[in-house]
A and B are shown apart, each in its own frame.
Chain A
Amino acid sequence: MANFSKSNVPQFSVDVYQNEYLPEGGREVNAIVTVSATGGGTVGSAVTAPHLYSPGTGPSAAVAIMVDCSGSMDYPPTKMRNARDATAAAIDTLRDGVHFAVIDGTHVAREVYPGGGRLAVADPATRDQAKQALRRLSAGGGTAIGTWLRLADRLLASADVEIRHGILLTDGRNEHESPEDLRAALDACAGRFTCDARGVGTDWEVKEVTAIASALLGTADIVADPAALSADFTQIMEATMGKEVADVALRLWTPVGTRIKFVKQVAPTVVDLTDRRTEAGPRAGDYPTGSWGDESRDYHVCVEVPPASLGQEMLAARVSLVIPQPEGSAQNLGAQGLVKAVWTDDMAASTSINPQVAHYTGQAELAQVIQQGLDARKAGDIDGATAKLGRAVQLASASGNADTAKLLAKVVDVVDAATGTVRLKAKVTEADEMTLETRSTKTVRVKK
């Protein structure tokens, strides 16, 4: 990061939405913190904001693509072929100058391109060589995702770049290493690179894939139909190429006597960051957010403050954005927001709930009840599943989360969305159930 002053960091802004008024004895302060980065890269096509980098250029970046080559990838054989095509499409999307490597993942990890523990630098020639090398990808072997991630980490660390990112594709369960091994690999890689994870087909474990994305601050999704892989990989790579700045942390300062109940990313997806705090000096802690392009995310911060008498006002939290540096200091990105607590006897003021807080509280509950409902369904608890998924239908409908409502409707028959009255469908395809589970954490933003 030493050359940071030379490169253009996107402009960050922080907005706080909260009802700061508490009743007498009130202790819980809730706030939605919207963090926006502008002036960043090209995510999508309709970006009109001025770009820091002219087309075809960008910050130095390295990308590792991990392709599952376990034996199951040959059933059906189109899966392997589609994975090869998707990887080729992703390579085509690489900007010139970006470092990259392709990893063949089975019960061990193997370098497919360029090999020799190095990264290739994208240009027309290397892109062509890489695509040639993809022919060597063939199915056979087991699945030990932790080994893939550790190899990706080693390769990505070999280049002095600003953005490090992985793309991981799997089609099966992580059967050839223990869950502890995967956990240890994720802990070792967390903060060193970000990673998007995709499950193809329906034989993989949703919780494994979402755990990888969550630990490595990337996205998780299902690609039920292997034919859709190419489009998905292209989109992932475009988003990766749009990243401008890596390792941004949300820094939270809270006064003495307060307790942080939780810190969650709530848009675009729900990610609980509470346990991922790194202490950063007296009363301050950093929560990792990964890398940022031209985008906006929302965070829900809940702080418990010591009660104070009516008429008192205090700062419950100060939110800022930093890039922690290896030697312990941090580069402050300038933007900050204040979360306040004001005690009042005005009941109208203290009892109203901020619309943003209410909305995201509902979205977080939506993700939770979908998870609980599907777990109950798997466990054969029909009543429990019906109640939870009914509540999910009600929340999705009330908050305007149409995508999730559609996915729910493939798992339950909706009798009345407003009251959450549903019947479990007798027959649900595995793909529909896994899609709902994987995408349960996707939220919509509050209508402004």
Chain B
Amino acid sequence: MSQMPQPTALTKCPICEWPLASDDRFCGACGHDLSAVSAPPEDHPTLTMNGTAGDPPDEAASVPWPVASEPSADTPPPVVRPTDIPGTDSGGGELSGPGRGVRFDRPSEPDEYPLAAPQPPDPRTGDLATPPAGTKLCVACRAGQVDRDGYCENCGHAQPRERDHMEQELTAVAAVSDRGLRHHRNEDAFAVSSTALPDGSPAVVAIVCDGVSSATRPDDASLAAARAANETLLESLPRGTHPQQAMHDAIVAASNAVNALAGEPETAQEHAPHQNAPACTIVGSVVTPTLLVVGWVGDSRAYWVPVDRGAPSARLTEDDSWAAQMVAAGLMNEAEAYADERAHAITGWLGADAYELEPHTASFKPDRPGVVVVCTDGLWNYAEAAEEMAEAVPLDAAQRPLHCAQVLVGRALDGGGHDNVTVAVLPFPAPPQGAGSA
């Protein structure tokens, strides 16, 4: 082999979990040199080695790695503890027992457990002892270890969190969520799933929620709402509930889940200056072979983009927002309303302090194939009109929904990434179940 860096086959950066293209040589987020990472086994891409600046030791004996199952929304992947994996330290000796600096507080990511020779010491931080094998290194300075609170022991930087960037792909639906470039955490959440109606035809579900930043624990609110709505739909759709009614019920269930958070005690760490009940928006879509249902509360949206771009695209939801109300009341035109600084103030949300829950639902029977784009305002701020959204959606969106969602999130980040971005893409009509199972 030549000395050329080998394109990596990794799907995620082993350091910061940024999604990678197959020919990336460096991570786009943290700059990690991917050529130094040996490619993982093709069939189990969720287990990777931690990055090293030097070559991995050749003499290291191969190790029987536990097999990780594909993570999915409802079944967390099995926890692989470092003690389950035999290994040696850089000197070839036995690793000491538990408590060698590995964190157990986020057990759901087997690829967070690196097993590699330690980093060569950074000359700028020569006082640092060589970290023992099995230590998680900071993504920001690459020199310090990560403490129990998730901060670097050297430079203090917070480490990427699981929710900073999330992707999920099922056969007939995909979703991507990203923290964006300006916010310090991702307060959006999504849930995607597929099930079958009583007649055996498929039904695909996508839920997207946007936590209200001015409220307490918006990230908890959005996650609780997305999960509750998804679970309700998975229960009622197979029983034969009409998808539109099912969507209505799901939003009510999501609302109850968010309301329940208001009663929970604050975490001790949080001294929020203002205590508002947790709140979030919700938008969801159910796609069957004949029907397209949307439901929403707040200003998260769903768009219809037909495969044949000759046909018109459309926005399927009507925001619960100050601007939308002004336009609806005929007090302002759309341009004036959205130029106002109050434009994005929402008038409807899920949460204990919402005035009155008014779930909006709508049902469509499109006469041609297309995709439904379900998204938070982190995306539609950069493609507000239906035509703009259609332009941003790749032509092969119906075949490659995950790629489409990635492209759309990329568009929002290119535009400035001012907010968290979450996009789910559902092809219509829902493909028959035989095409694969979730």
Contacts and interface: CB of A to CB of B under 8 A. Distances in A.
Interface in B116-164: 125, 127-128, 141, 144, 149, 151-152, 154-158
A352 B156 CA distance: 23
Contact of B182 (A17, A282, A308, A310): A310
B165 interface: no
B156 A282 contact: no
A330 interface: no
Contact of A314 (B125, B157, B213): B157
Contact of B156 (A15, A309, A316, A343): A316
Q: What secondary structure prevails in chain A residues at the interface with B?
A: loop
Given A17-B271, A255-B152, A314-B151, A308 B141 contact: no
B184 A313 contact: yes
A48 interface: no
Contacts of B185: 313
Contact of B183 (A257, A315, A344): A344
Given A311-B184, A315-B151, A344-B184, A338 B269 contact: yes
A27 to B, nearest CB: 13
A254 interface: yes
A304 to B, nearest CB: 12
Interface residues of A, number: 29
A16 to B, nearest CB: 7
Contacts of B141: 256
Given A17-B271, A315-B149, A338-B269, A344 B158 contact: no
A255 B156 contact: yes
A352 B182 contact: no
A60 interface: no
B58 to A, nearest CB: 33
B184 A256 contact: no
A255 to B, nearest CB: 3
A2 to B, nearest CB: 26
A342 interface: yes
A19 interface: yes
Given A256-B141, A338-B269, A311 B183 contact: yes
Contacts of A315: 149, 151-152, 156-158
20 contacts: A17-B271, A255-B151, A255-B155, A308-B157, A309-B181, A311-B179, A311-B181, A312-B158, A313-B185, A314-B155, A314-B156, A315-B149, A315-B156, A315-B157, A315-B158, A338-B149, A344-B182, A344-B184, A352-B273, A354-B273
Given A255-B152, A311-B183, 14 more contacts: A17-B271, A19-B273, A255-B156, A256-B125, A256-B156, A257-B155, A310-B181, A310-B182, A311-B182, A314-B151, A314-B155, A314-B157, A315-B158, A338-B151
Interface of B: 125, 127-128, 141, 144, 149, 151-152, 154-158, 179-185, 213, 269, 271, 273, 418
